[in-house]
Amino acid sequence: MAKILVIDDSSFQRKILRDILESDSHSVIEAFDGEKGLEMIMDEKPNLILLDHTMPEMTGRELLHNIKDKEIGIPIIMITADIQESSRDKSLELGAIAFIGKPVDENELKKLIQEYC
């Protein structure tokens, strides 16, 4: 199964995602902000990243831009309560493979993971 990095400032949201992912036997690593997430991307080399769009300090979009600049070829799924079309379009333009809303639909997430891992 895949090693998946969850980057979200909400410990509650990370737990929800961890539970979903571990129920399918994925290995889950976590970061609470964009800076730590970037460090873990470089150190852990995950197969997939679940990235919160709205975080303090470095937003998910800023991290996505940083990842694109570094040409890191790891698939990224943006997860957010901000479901504005402009946010979705910008995230996809920066390289996210999908953009899903919170609360996360477990079946939608599992389908995306199966497709990209």
**Encoding tokens for residue 109?**
């997430």
Task: Give the per-residue pLDDT at 8.
Answer: 97
E runs forming strands in 32-103: 48-52, 76-80, 98-101
Query: In the block, which residue shows the tokens 């993971």?
Result: 113
User: What average pLDDT score do residues 18-36 get?
Assistant: 96
Is residue 37 within 8 A of residue 79, CB to CB? The reply is no
Task: Give the per-residue pLDDT at 21.
Answer: 97
Is residue 77 within 8 A of residue 94, CB to CB? The reply is no
Is residue 49 within 8 A of residue 75, CB to CB? The reply is yes
Chain centroid offset of residue 3 CA: 12
**Encoding tokens for residue 63?**
């991290």
pTM of the model: 0.94
> For residues 91, 94, 96 and 102, what is the CA-based torsion angle, rounded to 10 degrees?
-20
Indicate whether 62 pLDDT > 90.
Answer: yes
Task: Give the per-residue pLDDT at 44.
Answer: 96
CATH superfamily of the domain spanning 3-116 = Response regulator (3.40.50.2300)
User: What average pLDDT score do residues 10-25 get?
Assistant: 96
User: Is pLDDT larger for residue 84 or for residue 17?
Assistant: 17
User: What average pLDDT score do residues 62-82 get?
Assistant: 91
Over residues 74-113, the pLDDT tens digits come to 999 999 887 778 888 888 998 999 999 999 999 999 999 9
For the chain, what is the mean pLDDT? Answer: 93
Which phi-psi region, left, alpha or beta, contains residue 14 (left: φ > 0; alpha: ψ -120 to 50)?
alpha
d(CA 83, CA 70): 26
